[in-house]
Amino acid sequence: MRPILQILSLAALIALTVPSVFFLAGRMELDKVKWIMLLATIIWFVVATGWMWKDKGAPD
């Protein structure tokens, strides 16, 4: 299960970044960028929480 969640998380991060790169290249409208980023954000927090929550935190 964990590897699948990790792959999905990576896909969410790619989906978060790529639209802004397309916008920079002049290949996507800003409104579309905003919607895809919002969707990627939701997916990231749902999926990444599933496998990152139990990870040991950094020292503080």
Partner 1 sequence: MDTQEQSQQTQAGSEFEREPVPKSALLGFKSFIGMYAGEHCAGTELMIGPLFVAAGVGAFDLIMGLLLGNALAVLSWMFLCAPIATRSRLTLYYHLEKICGRKLVTLYNLANGVMFCFLAGAMVTVSATAVGVWFKFPMPGLNDLYPNSVGWVVAVAVVGGLIAIVAAYGYQTVAKFANVAAPWMVLVFLAFGFVGLRQFIDATGAEVNSLGGAWQLAKDHIWKGGAPQEGQVKFTFWHVTFFAWFCNMAMHIGMSDLSVFRFAKKSWYGIASSTGMYVGHFMAWISAAILYAYQLHLDPSDTDVLPGPLAFRACGLAGLVCVIIAGWTTANPTIYRAGLAFQAIWPKSSRFKVTLITGAVATVAGMFPAIAMKLLDFVALYGMVLMPMGAVVFIDFWVIPRLGLRSSYAELSGHSLNWAAGLAWIVTFAACLTAVFIIGRWSLWFVSLPGWFVAAMLYMVLSRIYQNRVRPPTAA
Among 1, 2, 7, 38, binds partner 1 (CB under 8 A): 38
Between 8 and 48, CB nearer to partner 1: 48
Q: Tell me the C-alpha distance between 51 and 35, whole Å.
A: 25
* Contacts with partner 1, residue ranges (CB under 8 A): 13, 16-17, 19-21, 23-24, 26, 30-31, 33-35, 37-38, 40-41, 44-45, 48-49, 52-53, 55, 57-60
